Structure 1
Amino acid sequence: MTLYRPHLIAFGLLALAWLVGLPTALADLISDKRFLWPKRPASESIALVEIDAPSLVRIGVWPWPRHHHAKLIEQLDAAGATEIFFDIDFSARSHPVDDAAFAQALAKAGGSIVLATFQQRAGDLSRGVTLHVNRPLPEFAAHSWPAVVNVLPERDGLVRRYGLGARIGGEFLPSFGALLVARHDEQGPSFHIDFSIRTDTIPAVSYTAVLDREPQALAQLKGRKVIVAGTAVELGDRFNIPNGRVIPGSMLQLLAAESLLQGRDLQPTGLPLSVVGILAILGGMVVLCRRASAKTRVAIVLWTAASLEVGALIIQAQWPIIVDTSIWHLLLSAYLIAIALHEIDLRGLLRGIAERRFQRIAMSLGDGLACLDDQGRIVFWNPGASRIFGYPEADAIGRPFTACLADPGDLAPAQLARLRDAAATEAAVDHILDLVGLRRSGERFALEASVSSWQGADGLQFGIVLRDITVKQRERERIRYLAEHDDLTGLLNRHAFGQRLSAEWDKSETPALAVLLIGIDRFHHYSDIHGREFGDQVLVAFAERLRALVPLNTEIARFADDEFALIVPKEFAAAVADDVARDFGAAALVFGEWRQRVAVRIGYALAEPGWSADHLIGNAHLALEAAKTTHDEGPVSFTASMRDRIASRLTLEAELRLAFERSEFELFYQPQLQLSDQSVIGAEALIRWRHPGRGMIPPGQFIPVLNNSPLSDAVANWVLATACRQSRQWQKAGTPIRVGVNLSPSQLQGSDLQDTIAALLEETGLAPELLELEVTEDILIEDAENAQRTFREIRARGVKIAFDDFGTGYGSLSYLKTFPLDTLKVDQTFVRHLLNDSGDAAIVRATIDLGRSLGLSVIAEGIEDGETANCLKGMGCDEGQGYYFGRPLPAAEFEQQFLARRHVA
Structure 2
Amino acid sequence: MVDKAIERCLALSQAARTQQGEALASTLAELDKALAEVRSSAASAAPAEPAEATLALDLTGYLTSWNRSAEALFGYAAEEVLGQHILFLYAEDDDDGNIAELFFQQDDTVTEVRRRRKSGEVIWVKLAMSLLKDEGGEASGIQVRLAPVSEPLSDQDKINLHARIIEDSDQGVLITDSTERIVSINSAFTRITGYTPGESLGQTPDLLRSGVHDADFRAKVRSAMKGDGPWRGEIIGRRKNGELFPQSVTISAVRDDEGRISHTFSLFSDISVHKDAEARMQRMANYDTLTGLPNQCLLSQLMTQALTEARRSHEHGALLVLEIGRLGAISDTLGHDVGNELLTAVGRQLRHVLRDADVLARLDGNRFAVALLHIEKREHAAIVAQKLAAALEAPVQLAAHTLQVRVHIGIAVYPEDGFATAELIAHADVATSKAVQAEAAFLFYSEEMNQRAKEHLRIESELRLALQRNELQLYYQPKVSLRSGRIVGAEALLRWRHPVRGMVSPGVFIPVAEETGLILELGNWVLEEACRQVRAWKDANLIMPPVAVNLSARQFDRRLPERMADVLQRHQVQPEQIMLEITESLLVGGAENVVSIMNELVAMGLALALDDFGTGYSSLAYLKKFPISTLKIDRSFVIGLPYEENDCAIARAIVTMAQQLRQEIVAEGVETAEQMSFLRDLGCDQLQGYLFSQPVPAEDFERMLREGKRLAFTVR
TM-score range, shorter chain: 0.3 to 0.5
Q: Which has the larger radius of gyration?
A: 2
Return the structure number with greater relative CO, CA threshold 8 A, min gap 6: 1
